[in-house]
Structure 1
Amino acid sequence: MAEEGRPDRQRWSDPLASASLPAGLPSWPDGCGASDRAAAEAAGGASQLAAAEESGGRRRGARLRSGKRPGGRTGPASPWRLAALVAASIALLALAGFGRLPGLAGGSAGGGLGSSSGSGESAWADRSLDPKRLTIGYVKDSPRVLLREDEALRQAAAAAGVKLAWREYVDSAALVRAVQSGEADFGEADDAALASLHEAGDGLRALAAEPSNPQAYAIVAREGSEPGDVAGLRGRTIGYVPRSNSHALLLQALRQAGLSEAEVELRPLSPVELIRSFRKGSLDAWAAQEPELTRLESLDARVLADGQAIAGAVGLRELLLTTAENEASRGELLEAVVWAYGMQDEYLLRDYHDAAERLSEQTDVTHLQWLRLFERKSFGTAPLLPGIQAEEQRLADALAELGLRASPIDMTELLRAPE
């Protein structure tokens, strides 16, 4: 039974992290995708997973029925209280010898860039770091905009002698390119953007993964329009954001419906242009993802197919990424950044109304639209477990087959296994 006024969304299994995942990371949401559950089972065993879900479900259900937040408090959490919690958690992990995220090395540990040719030369060799600045990129209208106010993260950077800088990007592909070029040092991007743009030797590193969210990606049409399903899009014009997860889903949906790209007209758009074209009714269908999907639904869009309806759809998640240079030279600071992302995920789950209100003031998405998004999309930060790594490799292979990559690529360099 959902709490009154709360989106009926997937719940978290609190003990799952301690039962089957490395210490120091927030727990995974229950039911966030078959591949994620399989990865958790592989890490901790089916019996541990079931026990964790049962225990976590009872505790979470009791908390929701009582209307109380952890610790017996009611009402929205103060962002400063959350910041203090992050700072205290980081300090305790450091004292206990924990907190080393998979694949991160502090100080001088870790290697430099790889090379696809084996000669030691790399097309990205000119990328340089500003030792006094860490630039974090985020996509427009992302919940990560709130992290700009995270005092604990700012203090962690200051303690390392680094100033945080924040830079907004129009979409995930732009963010991935920025990290590749060295314009940004860290960011969260669609796994399809990362898998389609990653090149051997570019030094990109994925540090953690968000849950798979097939319901957060869909092909939509205007209410009352003629196409009844994806197969009905033959000869029609479809808008999409290039190299996004929804772009990959669109290509897979067309193939499943027996349509080739030559049988439709694909129109590349930015997320802002996607909304604008829907308002004008200038296209026949749109491949959309959150938060644009919820915004389109509020404009009377109807879903023709989402990620759950497309056989073989893989990925459909975000990855936290950086570069090998950042990983080697300031791994401890990146640990604090990843931890802050995970703590914000917990905040979005727990204090959804407070988060929706704050986000509505800083984005083009309304309070009610954010609540709908929270109902549809799960949040959580977890290590790159073997099941996730295998799925990301399948995604890269699928993108090569669909033409979003010139050739297949081994994702081993990008994806780091938990230590």
Structure 2
Amino acid sequence: MASFDDDYVVRTFSPALVDGKPDEATAAWLGATRIGFHEKADADAVRESAIGSVDDGRVFTGVYPRRPVAGGLDETWPVGTFTGYTKTINVGGGRLVDAYLVSDVTVRPTHRRRGMLRTLMTERLAAAAASGHALAALTASESTIYRRFGYGPATRKRTVVLERDVPVTLLAQPTGRVEMASPTSLAAIAPRVFARFHETTPGSVDRQGQYSNLYNGLTYGTAKPDDELRAAIHVPDSGEADGYVLYSMREEAGASVLEIADLVSATADAFLGLWDFLGSVDLVQRIRWSKAPVETPLLHALTASRSLQTERESDHVWLRVLDVQKALSARPYARDGEITLRVHDKLGHAEGTFRLEVVDGVGHATRIADSAPASLELDAATLATLYLGGVPVSVLGEAGLVVEHTRGAIRLATQMFAADRPVYGVTDF
């Protein structure tokens, strides 16, 4: 049987534009991703993705066949794709840490089970670790793929539905006011609002360049105006806008449904004020939001709390710890203490025994001899899941993912890793 290298060549390159259009390699790479995700591959969609990729500083990696089949896609089209770029993630306490974001991971259906994903992931994670990244992150189309590479689900999201069978009223009246706005006006407002949200929300990932289309009221992938999109902003009693919502209307089984495309708030008043507005929009039977936090103040703010139902809940951002010492030393802690972690990592990046000492909420992690006794034992994926504090260490212990060797260590770690605010994010990538 031929080896992987005999059949394929792996190429890494930066996407490029020539006279505002993607060059041949960039266009073919983006076209290949659209095969994987069943997306339109027209010239407008490919061009817009190329522009966003260049703005983000993405690096493309493709697996190319050495001997393409006559009549099939030629050798310029990769059979496997992978892209990476750097954005910040909020690890708590307003601390923003550079993370290596992984996206557009595809393998052509005709070339699966040939080691392509493992080759791409291991090589690019090694490069990210060598460049100094402490964390990698991705959002997964399936929940069974990435744990073997050391990723663990670190944030979750919900699709919630607010039924309008009774009037939507709040128990407490938020301050400020809400005004309708043109979607195109958000280009000057949304980035500033999101920056404030990002700085105060653990688990938030900074947004990529293609969100500018949404902020300009354009349809994703075409850069054409979205005539169905509506916008509103929340303005406090003094100062600039601190929240916004983008939404559109659709018919669903005879009911008018208000679909939220994006809702970002930098303050509690903005969040409640926007929902107070949404609940007052006429000719609406139902409101749906697919990026709601698991812990939402809306549930407790509604007079009729049973009107808010969870339609779906799923994992959102998956983290991967590449440098345990840097990662553990980067985030704040809710309690002082000392704990020793024995981490297993098949790829080697997080493998080892580490002592975490926290004084006045500041952590300092050092690697110690593997022969030293460990308080807790876990794998790299579990470390990633508990890292932000979105899942208590005690819950992971009860799931059999954290083994306690020192009595009381799970309880101490649960208190130490507790997040200062609910872990949440609204960025897809």
Q: Give the TM-score normalised by the residue count of structure 2.
A: 0.24
Greater fraction of residues in strand: 2
Which of the two has higher C-alpha Rg? 2
TM superposition score normalised by structure 1: 0.24
Q: Which has the higher contact order (CA 8 A, sep 6+)?
A: 1
Bigger proportion of residues as helix: 1
